[in-house]
Every structure is written in structure tokens, then in C-alpha cells.
Amino acid sequence: MIVRKFVIWGALAQAAILEAIRRKDLYVAVILSVLMIGAAATIGSFGVKGLEIFLKDVALTVVNLLSILMAILFAARQIPEEVSRRTVYPLLARPIGRGDLLIGKFLGAFALSAVALLLFALIAAGALGYYGLSVGAIFGQYLLARLFSLALICAMTLMLSLFMTPSACVTISLLLTLGAQTFSQAVLLIYGPASATGKGILRAAYFVLPHLDLFDLSKKVSYGWKPVDSWVMGALLLYAALFSAVFLSIAMLRFRRQAL
């Protein structure tokens, strides 16, 4: 039974990956990252002394932004495109559940995002290495934490895509993802002077919305920190798994009885 499920999810994910590769989505993102990181790295030709942190910061910011963008774009189109293209009918005519389709699509979007992240990271590490800058052991943890956050972002975007139009889904997902850090800081600032009701709302929002800023170890990489304790990575994994499971469950509840 479990093996059969993995075969189904694997087949759906594989089709999603194959399609994205043939659509050349990844190529565009890779070219874009080479251009952006390359442009920033030209500063290094004037001598990198004193600019190490800046260069690392720029390279990792590009990796962060592009990987988030790719994850949202991949996940946002999975189900709506299946429905609008009508390819969902022959898929769901097979002996699979709608939940299987959602999980397969989630895995496909996550795998694509992971490949994109690794490509961007490779380009960034290559550009930094060209100027003799090393990223240190924490770079591995940075990538792992980004992978966890990408899983969460894919699950969230997939869920939102079942409630709104694709463009609205992309906009809201970008706002929630990129605004996560600002939101955390804003809550801390306005929590003190807020009324009791306001505090309740803020507290609820603080725990309901995912804190994607927790997964960003790029500053630690830029400033050459030592690797964080393994329990921190474990906690991040748990946090991402919990939120992803909640988002996918909401998506399943929505998709289960949706007329196609």
C-alpha cells in the first residue's frame, strides 16, 4: 500500500519535473542568477579586501530571492494549470485519490525548488570561490534550512492556489514569504502599546503565520559564524514539517470536494 503510494507520488512528481525542465523555466532562472551574482562579483575585481561580507551577502540574497520566487512560481501553477488545461481529468480518472495528486504535485514543486536552490548555491559558491572567499561549514546548514523553508513555501502556495486565482496566489505568497521578517519585527514593536484585543490578534497572527525568517542563516554565513547546534536544525525541520502538514491538510480538505 505504502509502496503503491510512493509510486503514484513519484510518477506525478516526475511528470512535473520533466515538464518544468522542458519548459526551460530553470534555465531562465540560472541565467538570471549568473547575471545578478556576476554583476555583484565584478566589484571583487577592484580587490575584495573589506568587501567579503558584502559580496557574500549579495550572493546569498540573490540565492534566497530566486529560490523563493522559483518555489512560489512552481507551486502556484501545479493544480490551477492542471484544471485549466483539463489534464486533471485523465489523471483523476486513474485509481488515485485527490490527496495523492496534491502530494505528488507538492513533491514535484519541492524537488524543482530544491534543484533550483542547489544550482543557485553552486553559482554563488563558484563566484565567491573565484575571489578566494570560502563560505565555511555553516553554508551546508544554510542550504538545509533553505530546503526546509522551500518545503513550507511550496505547501503554503499549493494551498493558496486552491482558494484564489494564480496571480493572486503568487502575490499573496510573495507577500507572506518576503514579508515574514518585517512582520516578526513589526509585531514585536507594536505588541507593547497594543490593546488587550489587539494583543490577542497579534499573538494569534504570530503563531498562525509561518516565521520564514527563522530559516535564514545567510547572515551567519556572511559573517563566518560557526555551524549552529544540530538540535536547532532538528527544530527547524520539525517546524517546517508541521506547517507543511497543516497547509497540505487544509489543501486536501478544500480539494476533496471541489467540483472540477
Partner 1 sequence: MNQTKLQTANVMAAGEPRAEASKNLPGGPPALCIENLCVGYKKSLFGTPNRVVHNLNLSVRPGEVVGFLGPNGAGKSSTIKSIMGFVVPETGSVSIFGHSAGSTLAKAKIGYLPEVALYYPFLTPMETLTLYGRLQGLGGSSLRDEAMELLERVGLKGKEKLQLKTFSKGMQQRLGIAQALLGSPDLLVLDEVSSGLDPVGRRHLRHVLNEIKEKGTTIFFSSHELDEVAQLCDRVLLIANGRAVDERVMDAQLRGGIGSALEDYFIETLAKQEAGTTREAGR
Nearer to partner 1, 148 or 255 (CB): 255
Question: Binders of partner 1: how many residues, by CB under 8 A?
Answer: 27
Among 31, 35, 94, 203, binds partner 1 (CB under 8 A): 94
Measured at the CA of 137, the angle between CA 133 and CA 139, to 5 degrees, comes to 75
- Kindly state the smallest distance separating residue 92's Cβ from partner 1, in Å: 7
Residues 139 and 197: beta-carbon distance below 8 Å: no
Nearer to partner 1, 90 or 193 (CB): 90
**Which residues in 181-219 are b (16+ Cβ under 10 Å) and which e?**
eebbeebeeeeeeeeeeeeeebeeeeeebbbbebbbbbe
Is 2 a binder of partner 1 (CB under 8 A)? no
Query: Which of 36, 23, 60, 22 has its CA nearest to residue 145?
Result: 60
Q: Which stretch binds partner 1 (CB under 8 A): 38-46, 88-96, 106-114, 242-250?
A: 88-96
Is 253 a binder of partner 1 (CB under 8 A)? no
Is 93 a binder of partner 1 (CB under 8 A)? yes
Among 38, 80, 97, 140, binds partner 1 (CB under 8 A): 97
Among 95, 132, 192, 193, binds partner 1 (CB under 8 A): 95
**Residue 167: CA count within 13 A, CB half-sphere:** 0
Rounded CA-CA distance 34/127 in Å is 9
Query: Which of 146, 121, 117, 137 has its CA nearest to residue 229?
Result: 137
Nearer to partner 1, 97 or 227 (CB): 97
- Kindly state the smallest distance separating residue 111's Cβ from partner 1, in Å: 16
**Residue 193: CA count within 13 A, CB half-sphere:** 3
Residues that bind partner 1 (CB under 8 A): 4, 7-8, 10-12, 14-15, 18-19, 22-23, 85-87, 89-97, 257, 259-260
